[in-house]
Structure 1
Amino acid sequence: MSTGRARRALWRWLPPWALDAGLVALAVLDAWINLYDEGTPLIWSCVALGSAALFLRRRFPLTVFLLTLPMTLFMDVAVAPITALYTLAASTRNRPLLAGCVLLNAAASTLAWPLSDGFAGDQTWTLIQFVYTLATATAPVLFGQLVQARHDVALQLVEVEEAREHERALHAQTVLARERAQLAREMHDVVSHQVSLIAVQAGALQVAAKDPDAREAARTIRTLSVNTLDELRHMVTLLRASGGKETELTPQPTLADLQQLIANSGIETTLTGGLPPGISTTAQRTVYRTVQEALTNVRKHAPGARAEVRLWHDAQHFGVTVTNTAPTRPSVALPSARHGLIGLGERAELLDGTLTAEPTPQGGYRTELRAPTRPA
């Protein structure tokens, strides 16, 4: 187990140019073993061209493969064409192109130069040799496709782990928001109701009392009850507005943090428009969370997509619209309880607004928050 890990570490430590230099040397040695002293200047030129081209195999895999075909036509070599085929298969998803290159390599390996000698011999043996070289050329292509699939799976596993971590955070945030909402309801329905009754009774006592000291005591009780109601309303508003993992002792995000959120999202995103200056802190926080959740969904469900965040307002409403393009890479189908969008819908309801999330005709997605304008 440790030996295998050491070998993998050695291959990763080896610089690419050193690996390519070794492959070039092997390709020249392979040609020299097959030619001995029979090579002409033309043949050695093809060997030099096809072998040296391996230095560029990562940047121009198809061109390098085509440059190895002349040396394959002149001699029975394997290192250069197999290396070129493997590199091409590991860098492209074009299956018809790979099939054509395999056939082309098999044909070049089967035919002899001059071409008239290739058709003058035993046709059955030529067919057998073609099938053998076809199988030999298919092996590096299959291995290259396997390496490409392994790389894709590794990327998808990273995306799955990030998505699961995000889902766990969303679930914890949803549970916390539910508990805070329940506490807010209890405070509003029970405590606020009882304090209101105290204020009403104190007001009645203040009016009906004959004794000045009794009236003053009733007035004090009524004033304290009214102040307590104001504090309770403020606490209920905070409990309903904050459903994240942060506490009220930590700074809550506002519109001033929106640019930093977009910069750290890892998505090519443009920010346009603006919001009215008089919107409340709760509304700013809701806009921020909407953009945050929308960009998270883009990163999770639309790899490689671009996004646009547009802030807008008119005489009666304000809002934010987040639109992304179609993904450029295949995404992993992940289970989702849509806790994020549910939480955003609840935040929108606190502002007497609405949240819409729907796909676009171009294959992207659009999330929009719309709420009535009211003073802070």
Structure 2
Amino acid sequence: MTCGPAPTKSDHIWLVVAAFVFAGLDALMASLNEPTTGWAGPYALFLLQIPLDLSLIFAFRYPRIVAGLVLTGATLMLLSDELAPGLFVPEHPISLATVPTITSVLLCVLVRVLDRRSLLILTGIFMVLSTRFWHPSWAVIPFGLASTALPALGSLYLQARRDLLRSLRDRAERAEREQHLLAEQARAEERRRLAGEMHDVVTHRLSLMVLHAGALTVSSKEPAVRDAAEGIRSEGTRALDELRDLVGVLRGTEQDTGATGPAVVELPDPAMLVAESESVGIPVRLRVDGDGNGLSPTVARTAYRVVQEALTNVRKHAPGSEVDLALRYRPDGLDIEVRNSPPKGVPDPVLAGSGSGAGLSGLRQRVELIGGSLRAGPVISGGFEVSAILPAYVPTAESAQHDHGRRRR
């Protein structure tokens, strides 16, 4: 059981550096201390502390073994002071430390790798060995507490503070995720409600319009009336297809249509829009890269609307300009770019003011609804550019019929 995060590579490097720093410090103190006088030789304290300093390198991997070695060294220093002065510790040392100098660093490390109970027991033992409370001394007790209890308690406080901050951060992230999920659920519910209303109300009215137009086509004797009725019926049928497709996107589910074979879906062609624009005096240079047969009907119609809205805005606001239209079909989607040159004439105020002003914003919402993105704005040359990035497939009922299982997830 550990009390902190797993040691990292930088933690191990830090231990190696600390071990050699303390080994150098003990070497300096050995050169300044008076020699020991026991059978262990004149440098007994230095020879005792060096292995303990270097054992710090393995404190993360073998914490209990390293703690046992340092505790053994502290016990030998205590026995030397009490029973054989001068054996391992000089009789008049320059340092007031009564435990190995590496003890404070070791306790900071043990906070990370030992359970709380074992850490407190070890800290208590080191406190007893360092303070020597049976011989109270104002010089020994404060120094002993500063080298044992203070680093352990300080490390425990820092560890608890890190855990608290981590917990608060996790809780905030969890709350943010939950809020995002609730917002997504609310949006999905609103989309389903709108889809239901569109299906129940708008589809019903359009269906009646198509039926009446079809009946008028059959019953009328006037060719002009029949042609107009046929146009209304054709546009109404196309609107029903688009509405059915949009309802499927809003619901966000693929519906089983019960079709036994692939349906024939007539998809709009942007080239028709190019011909319309050229017929009213707006030249359009069309460049097509790739094959658009892999697009689902929803994406194809959205691409058609992007091009249609862009060319309509050119006719309204940039008379006399030339248009470059690029369609780049990719295996995973479609890139659209419509750019017009600076206008050469003054826009017709009636034509320019005929729109609602929400065409591009509504178009952006439609593009984002199927998972795409749209950008529109002026360019450095003085013209205007509309560009969109669309996915290749959106799961709807009509897409399932058109694609007959090739892209379904």
TM-score by length of 2: 0.46
Flag the structure with higher helix content.
Answer: 1
Flag the structure with larger Rg.
2
